[in-house]
Amino acid sequence: MSIMSMKKIAYKIIYSGNVQGVGFRFTVIRFAKAYDSITGYVKNLPDGSVELFAEGLEEEVESLLEDITSGPHSAHIKNVSANIVPVSNHFSVFSVSY
């Protein structure tokens, strides 16, 4: 593994569309748990969108984001607002936040 692939990165993403009440968060959890380094959360927002905070090795986080946008719920996603944010190191697991 190269030094570049060992870099940690964090994203905060808002998914909007028909993303609540369709199992979207639990699909994201399943995808995230397939990666060793990813921590963070996924949660429903009051406006009907879903917020994702994911941090981990850059290669794994990028793969997770691809999994989400090409996965079984991709047709429900109408808009994605993604921002790279500072790595927090506050999370030890990836889970649903309420």
- The yes-or-no answer on residue 30 being catalytic is no
Which ranges of the chain does DSSP label H, i.e. alpha helix?
24-32, 58-70
- The residues, ordered by sequence, that sit 6+ positions from 43 with a Cβ below 8 Å of its Cβ are 25, 50, 51, 96, 97, 98
Please give the structure tokens belonging to residue 46.
Answer: 């009051």
Closest CA to 39 of 54, 28, 24: 54
Q: Which of 18, 25, 30, 83 is catalytic?
A: 25
- The yes-or-no answer on residue 83 being catalytic is no
Q: Which of 44, 79, 83, 89 is catalytic?
A: 44
Q: Which residues are catalytic?
A: 25, 44
